[in-house]
Amino acid sequence: EAQVTQNPRYLITVTGKKLTVTCSQNMNHEYMSWYRQDPGLGLRQIYYSMNVEVTDKGDVPEGYKVSRKEKRNFPLILESPSPNQTSLYFCASSAYSSGANVLTFGAGSRLTVL
Amino acid sequence: QKEVEQDPGPLSVPEGAIVSLNCTYSNSAFQYFMWYRQYSRKGPELLMYTYSSGNKEDGRFTAQVDKSSKYISLFIRDSQPSDSATYLCAMRAETSGSRLTFGEGTQLTVNP
């Protein structure tokens, strides 16, 4: 089954404790991205990657890091999480041929930073 | 001011009703317009995708784009309880690469 898999789905952590949210897709998509979803603000792009070793900032990159060492994986790293990073996070992927229009999203990772 | 405005609702309709969901936008460079549907505790899934102005129909769903008014709509005919979800509009400019701008989403409930 074609899918984007995120882990963990739920996480409660404390301020300053580094964490990584993994994302993996099995569709051989070139394009991958991370979004956060907050009430009243909708989905906002954090980082995106057009292909292996090619990443760029989205609209809200502060406090986040990403890497794209393999085509299928695109982990999101919070080096020193803060409470304002409490949010619902989505990873998404797309074939380059469709641009970013036809995104396949993961099921989401709900993060709480205390 | 947000680039894309969408009434968050909630919107509640009886089964069988025609539903109209709308977004307005300010960036005249937007050329690609999408509607995503998001069920509770799930990721968004693409519902409709249109390029530039015009209408597109897919079963009970019709997407309309009016670029002159900077206004897009999604119509759902004969709405079903299974249509209960949050509907997100999204748009992209030709030159914005992969950056999609999403609306806040409208929460829809279709009552049996």
pLDDT, tens digit (0-9, with 9 covering 90-100), for B56-96: 999 999 999 999 999 999 999 999 999 999 999 999 988 77
Q: What is the mean pLDDT of chain B?
A: 93
B88/A contact by beta carbon, under 8 A? yes
Q: Test B103 with A103 for CB contact under 8 angstroms.
A: no
**CA proximity to B23, closest of B36, B47, B7:** B7
Structure tokens at A7: 């882990």
The rounded distance, in Å, linking the Cα atoms of B60 and A65 is 41
Q: What's the DSSP call for residue A99?
A: T
B44/A contact by beta carbon, under 8 A? yes
pLDDT, tens digit (0-9, with 9 covering 90-100), for A23-71: 999 999 999 999 999 988 889 999 999 999 999 999 999 999 999 999 9
A44 contact residues in B (CB cutoff 8 A): 102
A107/B contact by beta carbon, under 8 A? yes
Contact of A15 with A113, CB cutoff 8 Å = yes
Give Dmax (Cα) for chain A: 41
Residues in contact with B56: Cβ distance below 8 Å, sequence separation at least 6, in sequence order: B48, B49, B50, B62, B63
Q: What is the pLDDT of residue A77?
A: 98
**Torsions phi, psi for A71 (to 5 deg):** -65, -35
Chain B: closest CA distance from residue A84 (Å)? 19
A38/B contact by beta carbon, under 8 A? no
Contact of B106 with B11, CB cutoff 8 Å = yes
A100 contact residues in B (CB cutoff 8 A): 92, 97-100
Q: What is the pLDDT of residue B54?
A: 85
Chain B: closest CA distance from residue A103 (Å)? 7
A-contacting residues in B 14-33 (Cβ below 8 Å): 32
**B97 in the Ramachandran plot: left (φ > 0), alpha (ψ -120 to 50) or beta?**
left
Residues in contact with A85: Cβ distance below 8 Å, sequence separation at least 6, in sequence order: A63, A64, A78, A111, A113
pLDDT at residue B20 tops 90 = yes
The rounded distance, in Å, linking the Cα atoms of B64 and B51 is 10
Q: Test B49 with A101 for CB contact under 8 angstroms.
A: yes
Q: What is the pLDDT of residue A57?
A: 93
Q: Test B97 with A100 for CB contact under 8 angstroms.
A: yes
Interface probe with A: pick from B100, B106, B107, most Cβ of A within 10 Å: B100
Q: What's the DSSP call for residue A72?
A: S
pLDDT at residue B30 tops 80 = yes
Cβ contacts below 8 Å, chain A against chain B, sum to 63
A103 contact residues in B (CB cutoff 8 A): 36, 44, 46, 100
